[in-house]
Amino acid sequence: MSDTSDTTSRPIRVRMAPSPTGPLHIGTARTSLYNYLFARHVGGTYVLRIEDTDTARSTAEFERDIIDNLHWLGISWDEGPQVAGGEDIGPYRPYRQSQRMDRYAREAERLVASGHAYHCWCTPEELEAVRAEQAERKEAPRYNGRCLRLTDAEREAFAREGREPVVRLKVPPETIRFDDLIRGEVEFDNALLGDFVIVRANGVPLYHFVVVVDDEAMEITHVIRGEDHLSNTPKHIALIRALGYAEPRFAHIPLILNPDRSKMSKRKSQTAITAYREQGYLPETMVNFLAFLGWSPGTEEEIFTLDQLAERFDVAAVHKGGAVFDSDRLDYLNGVYIRALTDEQLALRLRPFLPDALDDATVLRVVPLVKERLVRLNDVGELVAFLVETDAEVEGLYAAGDLLPKKRDAAETAGAVTAARDALQSLADADFSADVLEARCRQAAEEMGWKAGDFFRPLRLAVTGRSVSPPLFGSMELLGRERVLARLDAALGKLTAERVTSA
């Protein structure tokens, strides 16, 4: 390594470089997280750069999704756009590649002038033909260098035709070696690479080129990215050398996998962070879960906040092998985090997932009933639906037969519901509390010689319309005396009708 490639003495700077061609992806989120944890751990600077050179696929909407969800995860950065469409912060502005085109053009020209790059007029059809031939001969598909050997007359002829050339890097046939922070020494033979395109015919530069130009321009010292870029690294190093840049340290983190162990994809898995957010996964769950996909502190501890992760994180300890995204484990972790919340905190988080019809005071009363039953915040809707549904809707949810406990007929069940009704009716509104309700109902059950569980079944169904519900008496308390009585009456009506029809 030459002196120019020594990055150890420079202040540490890392970046995340999402492309706004889709919503924030699980993999991008995890890469961003690792970069963040690394930067925080070593006290470095963290940069957000928007890679929007693919103008056809990049949108402002995706940029917003990415930035918003990064914030949602609790990941912050020192430089770059802080809000979608907002002003860039930092000494290396702008941080959107679409606004840095002049620099890329300049650097491309410099490469051509120095003989490190050249124009190529081959058409897509011609290139395709070459590739097909190579495939035939079972060779690696790569550019055959035809335009490198063009005479000046031929170049002028192409130019006169009005054909716009692409720019290709002249890749020296040399062995590229680098010391990956995670994988150790990695070696490639660049003779196998072929001269790749760095600027399109329309003048728009390509990813491999702009990434290298910007990493230098922004003085990035450590490039932490997905393993899918490992084989692209020799290209980047070839570019770095041609441009005379300093070589950053590389760290290639393992891929997140579909259950079939292929690279996690939209096709086979839910990959958008937004989707998890909308279902009610907590950001602290996602962070904790993502951090452990490919890394662990080396102990048996597994619950960590973002700050604790930053304190413990060590890139060198990141695994080499890919990790399957296990949604069962994600669900479990979310439950752990939900249960760790105070009632007040959970009420706040639940608010967006609850109908407006429920006022904040009610939501706070709902929380203790649902807290340990939630996997995702989103699940709360079904749990408390009986509170917002009308009595008629609830009644429509079950049939008379559903009310009957095992080995009890309609007449017996009607008797039990009547007993419960009678026991509750005399209660003042103020006494309509879970404790009192439970005591009354248990007493009624005992007097009739019913098992409590059997006795509660028709009541649960009548009150909530469901055989699975939050705790019965808490639910009754929330619903209030009037509505409970009305629903009990409705159940009674069904049971009576059942007796008539079956008689």
Partner RNA sequence: GCCCCCAUCGUCUAGAGGCCUAGGACGCCACCCUUUCAAGGUGGAGAUCACCGGUUCGAAUCCGGUUGGGGGCACCA
| Active site members | 266
The one-letter code for the residue type at 28 is: T
- Minimum separation from the CB atom of position 405 to RNA (A): 10
Q: In the complex with RNA, which residue's Cβ is closer, 133 or 360?
A: 133
Rounded CA-CA distance 313/33 in Å is: 11
Please tell me what DSSP assigns to residue 181. T
Rounded CA-CA distance 102/92 in Å is: 14
Rounded CA-CA distance 217/233 in Å is: 18
Three-state SS for 142? coil
- Minimum separation from the CB atom of position 50 to RNA (A): 9
Q: In the complex with RNA, which residue's Cβ is closer, 204 or 499?
A: 204
Structure tokens at 201: 């015919």
Q: In the complex with RNA, which residue's Cβ is closer, 51 or 63?
A: 51
Please tell me what DSSP assigns to residue 272. B
- Minimum separation from the CB atom of position 447 to RNA (A): 16
Q: In the complex with RNA, which residue's Cβ is closer, 7 or 334?
A: 334
- Minimum separation from the CB atom of position 229 to RNA (A): 6
Q: What is the dihedral of CA 451, 456, 461, 466, to 10 degrees?
A: -90
Rounded CA-CA distance 143/171 in Å is: 11
- Minimum separation from the CB atom of position 247 to RNA (A): 17
DSSP symbols for 7-65: -TTSPPEEEE---SSSSPBHHHHHHHHHHHHHHHHHT-EEEE-B----TTT--HHHHHH
Q: In the complex with RNA, which residue's Cβ is closer, 91 or 298?
A: 298
Are the beta carbons of 141 and 131 closer than 8 angstroms?
A: yes
- Minimum separation from the CB atom of position 263 to RNA (A): 3
Q: In the complex with RNA, which residue's Cβ is closer, 457 or 481?
A: 457
- Minimum separation from the CB atom of position 224 to RNA (A): 15
Please count the helices (runs of H) and the strands (runs of E) in the chain.
Answer: 20, 13
Q: In the complex with RNA, which residue's Cβ is closer, 42 or 499?
A: 42
Structure tokens at 232: 């692209």
> b/e map of 166-203 (b: 16 or more CB within 10 Å)?
bbbbbbeeeebebebbbbeebebebeebbbbbbbebee
Rounded CA-CA distance 469/280 in Å is: 20
